[in-house]
Structure 1
Amino acid sequence: MESSMLQTCTNLIKNAKNIVVLTGAGISTESGIKDFRSQTGIYQRAPEYILSLDNFYHNPKGFYQFAFENLYHPEALPNKGHEILSQWENEGKVSYIITQNIDGLHQKAGSQKVIEFHGTMKTASCQNCRKTYKTEEMINRLNSIDDFYICNHCSPPTKKDRYIKPDVVLFGDSGEWFTIDGFNEIINIINQADILLVLGTSLKVTPFSTFPQYRREGTPLIIINKGDSPYDMSKDSYIIHDSIGETLSRIYEDLKVNK
């Protein structure tokens, strides 16, 4: 890790009062959760079709079995990166975390202002009546009911109308933030930031990848990610290709010493 870049980022964060954080799979891999696109990621074993809305409706039982095995990690614990972001939120330095992750680790660490842009694996909802089921309940249903993915609290004409879908955004799907109002709220949040801190995402998947474009001119963009991103050479970008937990820990300790 280049010490001069680390010091520059530390100074920027020290003076910041409204940091908006964008996080991706790279922060969760340090808690033992597999990512999607790396050489050891989930997509090496399954194509994107597996996580599509079409596949869910075509093979709901198979979809759920894959999701429970690969996307649901109730045993995972927040790592140092999650904990520091939570602490900075408590100190009034971080205003929002906008995450691609569906694991809930930011909330487990204590963060309150979290936008789960791609949804969550903690719950599932009937696509007709919107009744919410906890994922633990869906696992129990899978083990005890043949058509466990069909809601029994409503009765539209066809069974497919009352399929219970995990509350994650699938390919071909849209979530609560994939609306004009949702986008505008996120754009407004980013536009008010005095630093945009990006952690563990290559910023190559739209529409999440477009968010840095909405920061005010001159707003620093700090990216801590082991891989490259399209923004690495852009103006006002500060890039560290290293561990998120280790990097944030060094910044955090330096800020404590130099208060």
Structure 2
Amino acid sequence: MTRLGEWLAESRNGVFFGGAGVSTDSGIPDFRSAAGLYTKNGGDSPEYLLSTECLHEEPEKFYQLYKTELVHPQAQPNAAHHHINTLIEAGHLTSVVTQNIDGLHQAAGTQQVFELHGSAWRNHCVGSEHHPATLEQVMAQPGVPHCPQCGAMVRPDVVLYGEGLDMDVLNGAVNALANADLVIVGGTSLNVYPAAGLLQYYSGDRLVLINAEPTGWDQAANLVIHGRLGETLGAVIEEMGL
């Protein structure tokens, strides 16, 4: 059995930590990649267009980009999402810490998901009552969506530039990583902070990085696999007989 297979077989409290690369096989582009959002935009920077400042001062610009580039309601979980859930159901992993807002881990059946950057599937108006709204309602309204109850603008429950992470989610992720006996990192360049900094809370010696390209964290990992996440996990699951 490969080292990853051996470690997973022994693990009872593993955590998967993932980023945008987990969902690219579902048709959701990694907007920091060469073909992603950062190379498509002229004029305003993506950091501005996806900021709390832009949302409140130029909501039309925000939603033009948000609806066309960041939200993909028709996307379905891919092999990586399903393999991760298989490892959770088998008792080798306990939870997922994700930087993604697409909800695909939950769609694959995973229940314990710490969404560091929030979820596009949760929305609420900015009025005093914070009325909830569905993603379907947000996408159905042209341009800037408004609350059918009070008329206030609706915003997604995602962390924008200029905003802090949700402390309950952050604390949950920190506790999961601090108590993990194995951490598998996949589909992320680990360049986005403070999310990437959470790995410092893992003090074990089974940090595994699975990425198509090298990352700045490779030297700190105990095992580095350069390959496709879905294929790598699929081979290990087959090896384990799951």
Q: Distance in 2 between matches of 1:91 and 1:169?
A: 32
Alignment partner of 1:164 is 2:154: yes
Q: Deviations over 1:142-175 (max 9, x none)?
A: 27xxxx53435348xxxxxx43211111101234
Structure 1, unaligned runs of 5 or more: 1-5, 156-161
Cross-structure match for 1:239: 224
Structure 2, unaligned runs of 5 or more: none
TM-score w.r.t. length of structure 1: 0.85
Cross-structure match for 1:35: 30
Q: Distance in 1 between matches of 2:20 and 2:62?
A: 21
User: Aligned letter for 2:9?
Assistant: K
Which residues of 2 match residues 27-66 of structure 1 at below 5 A?
27-46=22-41, 47=45, 48-66=47-65
Secondary structure, counterpart of 1:197 in structure 2: strand
Kindly state the Cα deviation for residue 122 of structure 1 after the two structures are TM-superposed: 1.4
Cross-structure match for 2:140: 140
Aligned residues: 237
Kindly state the Cα deviation for residue 229 of structure 1 after the two structures are TM-superposed: 2.2
Q: Deviations over 1:22-73 (max 9, x none)?
A: 1101110121210011110111113221111111112212321221111111
Cross-structure match for 1:18: 13
Cross-structure match for 2:82: 83
Cross-structure match for 1:3: none
- Specify which of 200, 209, 222 is matched with residue 187 of structure 2: 200
User: Aligned letter for 2:4?
Assistant: C
Once the two structures are aligned, what percentage of the paired residues are identical?
A: 35
**Bigger Rg over Cα:** 1
Q: Distance in 2 between matches of 1:164 and 1:215?
A: 37
Q: Distance in 1 between matches of 2:37 and 2:238?
A: 34
TM-score w.r.t. length of structure 2: 0.91
Cross-structure match for 2:209: 223
Query: What is the RMSD computed on CA atoms of the aligned residues?
Result: 1.9
